Copies of this chain bind each other. A is one copy, B any other.
Amino acid sequence: MIIVMSMGATEEQATNVRDQLRSYNLTPHDNYGTQRVVIAVLGDVGPVRDVLMGKLSVMPGVESVTPITRPYKLTSRESHPDDTVIEVLGKRIGNGTLTIMAGPCSIEGRDMMIETARTVAAAGATVLRGGAFKPRTSPYSFQGLGVEGLQYLAEARKETGLPTITEVMEPGQVEVVARYSDILQVGTRNMQNYSLLTAVGKAGRPVMLKRGYGATIEEWLMAAEYIVSSGNPHVILCERGIRTFETYTRNTLDLTAVPLLHHLTHLPVIVDPSHATGKRWLVRPMALAAVAAGADGIMVEVHPDPDAARSDGEQSLTFDQFGDMAHALFKIHDEVRTLIKDPFAMTGPAAIDGASKH
């Protein structure tokens, strides 16, 4: 933590800052310049970091307070250099293979779920998705089949042998969802639902945490930190677009987050081009781009008859479209892996703070 005193700050004010630091058992290091004093605190400040920064920032004579360590620990690559690889029903996520999660937005019935599962499995999908509890912007929209949907999903797993993923919306649902599904998904609107994060942290199942559409990468990793610090190290991150001023697309897919996250954290990174773009014909180019950027996998919505879908039909692929796309994704993934031996060869160092916006 770096405390910059203002140009006119008195020695007494600097002393008060040092005393405040010592009251937290921290050691201040002085840096005297011709115009001002800068006080540094090295090492890990621990859980008081944010409160202490707030206090210091309004002390008389203080110009600014800047953290020098990131607030996430367990999810940072600095503390855990090796990639986290998650294994579910024999499928590995984050080990260099391409993960493809596919299935309907909402599970609308038994037959459509089984049929979709068989088709996407045949085309190379490695995880089945399907929504049973649906968070909908409007209270008047279809809210999902609930437990009945979970049963169909479990049946699809049995049919195909593929692991499944589905969303859980509240702590009270965690147990039942964990009973039927292999991976629990926390949706974009619940990324900072801390009660839910803590609950899935204790569920004994891998969790895929979607980025909040208004969340910074740091907040996203802090949300993952909630899950990991509750006892669950098996977290997958899923980029699905952020909110910007652009209105021609539903969200702005932030693909730069992929290489950035691979640098900051050891957790696998999946990209969801369906929700980011909101349009079927934008899914394929953005899925290809995600794989080229180094994503560990993608998640897409597939429906036997998208025009009849009860939710998100406009962004769902047909079976044929999915098959063509999966074929292309595996080819590009192989090519990129062959060409790019060392993804960080360009790295040298990797400072990312203090980046002024241009």
**A interface vs B, CB < 8 Å?**
2, 4, 6-7, 29, 31-36, 38, 40, 42-44, 46-47, 49-51, 53-68, 71, 78, 135-142, 169-173, 189-190, 192-196, 198, 212-219, 222, 225-226, 229-230, 242-260, 263-264, 275-286, 288-294, 306-307, 309-315, 317, 321, 324, 327-328, 331-332, 335-336, 339-340, 343-358
* A57–B349 touching, CB < 8 Å: yes
Output the residue of A33, A43, A56, A61 with the most chain B CB within 10 A: A33
State the Cβ distance, A117 to closest chain B Cβ, in Å: 22
Known: A42-B35, A169-B194. A249 touches B243 (CB 8 A): no
- Residues of chain B within 8 A (CB-CB) of A2 are 2, 38, 40, 66, 68
Q: Which 3 A-B pairs have the closest CB atoms?
A: A214-B214, A33-B42, A47-B140
- Residues of chain B within 8 A (CB-CB) of A284 are 340, 346
- Residues of chain B within 8 A (CB-CB) of A192 are 135, 137, 189-190
State the Cβ distance, A242 to closest chain B Cβ, in Å: 6
* A57–B216 touching, CB < 8 Å: no
Known: A55-B307, A190-B193. A346 touches B358 (CB 8 A): no
* B289–A293 touching, CB < 8 Å: yes
Known: A219-B357, A244-B242, A249-B256. A280 touches B346 (CB 8 A): yes
* B348–A292 touching, CB < 8 Å: no
State the Cβ distance, A224 to closest chain B Cβ, in Å: 10
State the Cβ distance, A189 to closest chain B Cβ, in Å: 4
When the two chains form the complex, which single residue of B242, B249, B324, B340 contacts A246, counting CB atoms closer than 8 Å? B242
